[in-house]
Amino acid sequence: MAEQPSLPSMRVDGQVAVVTGGGSGLGRAMAKGLSEAGAAVAVADLPKMLPGAEETAQAIRAAGGTAYAVPLNVKEQASIDAMVAAVLKESGRIDILVNNAGVNIPREALDVSEQDWDNVVDVNLKGVFFTSQAVGRVMVKQKSGRIVNIASQNGLVGYYKRAAYCSSKAGVVNLTRVLALEWAPHGINVNAIGPTFIVTPLTQSTFDDENMRADLLKRIPLGRVGQPEDVVGACVFLCSPAASLITGHTLMVDGGWTIL
Ligand SMILES: NC(=O)c1ccc[n+]([C@@H]2O[C@H](COP(=O)([O-])OP(=O)(O)OC[C@H]3O[C@@H](n4cnc5c(N)ncnc54)[C@H](O)[C@@H]3O)[C@@H](O)[C@H]2O)c1
């Protein structure tokens, strides 16, 4: 009899994935990676970013995959419910949720307004929770699912001009543990990824600031910032059979920043 292979699959063939904020940056790269690993992908993004989401979906379809764009504002419960309904109508199930939508308003702590704070925390933390809750209800019925929350190294360490951002991402790291605990009996794994600085529209203003660019490079032992593709392997791995006994974990993709 042939031996069972020792390496579990890192593919997600036939599964249905939702990637929030999939019209740009990390979300686009992860949507494409999940498609390359075999999933059909719903690329969800703000109505004003739908052309970006459609561009992601088109790139996936051009490469032979299955993908479509769906409008979503993670700040609004009704929009989350409408996104879930649209994906169920189109694909019949949701196996993978990547909570990637996120914002930052870099500002000194003394200058942060209540509106800045609410904007960042509502998208990055409240949005992750209520999107997980809505999709979690579907996954509980299915008795299986994978959720990957895009936290940040800034969920573990502090950094300048990021009072609300670091607070929201630290919240995501611990929310990941709570959801992992509560939903483990339902066959749902919940993990997070903690990227370092990655070159995307979100970080443009930081990279434009010469002092900040020099400062952050000094803090990355591997000596470089990331590209969106640097996060794809961690995401696909956490969604795949190879990670079936991993839950509640935050996998750092930070070039070593948080070692120090
Ligand atoms: N770029 C980095 O250095 C870095 C590092 C660590 C973590 N992250 C996290 O990765 C995620 C993606 O960031 P990115 O760098 O690709 O940024 P990005 O600005 O390129 O993409 C963010 C996406 O989220 C969408 N979005 C924003 N608000 C939304 C809302 N209310 N509802 C739905 N979608 C919304 C945007 O339209 C956009 O498409 C974020 O959660 C971010 O905090 C980024």
d(CA 239, CA 146): 6
What is the predicted pLDDT for the residue at 5? 84
What is the predicted pLDDT for the residue at 3? 81
pLDDT tens for 110-160 read 999 999 999 999 999 999 999 999 999 999 999 999 999 999 999 999 999
C-beta of residue 25 within 8 angstroms of C-beta of residue 201: yes
pLDDT tens for 196-253 read 999 999 999 899 999 999 999 999 999 999 999 999 999 999 999 999 999 999 999 9
Average pLDDT over residues 155-168: 97
Task: Assign 4 a pLDDT band (cuts: 50, 70, 90).
Answer: confident
The fold adopted by the segment(s) 16-254 is Rossmann fold (3.40.50)
The predicted model scores a pTM of 0.98
Whether 165 is a known active-site residue: answer: yes
C-beta of residue 32 within 8 angstroms of C-beta of residue 115: no
- The beta-carbon contacts of 118-121 under 8 Å, at least 24 apart in sequence, are 120/164, 120/165, 120/168, 121/164, 121/167, 121/168, 121/171
What is the predicted pLDDT for the residue at 129? 99
Test site for ligand 1: of 202, 207, 251, most ligand atoms within 8 A of the Cβ: 202
d(CA 47, CA 4): 47
Test site for ligand 1: of 81, 156, 200, most ligand atoms within 8 A of the Cβ: 200
Average pLDDT over residues 161-168: 98
Provide the 10 A C-beta neighbour count for residue 113. 10
Report the pocket of ligand 1 as residue ranges, CB < 6 Å: 20-21, 23-27, 45-46, 49, 52, 72-75, 100-103, 123, 127, 150, 152, 195, 197-198, 200-203
Nearest ligand 1 atom to the CA of 73 is 32
Residue 194 Cα to ligand 1 middle (Å): 13
Provide the 10 A C-beta neighbour count for residue 61. 14
Atom 32 of ligand 1 has which residue's CA nearest to it? 73
Provide the 10 A C-beta neighbour count for residue 1. 3
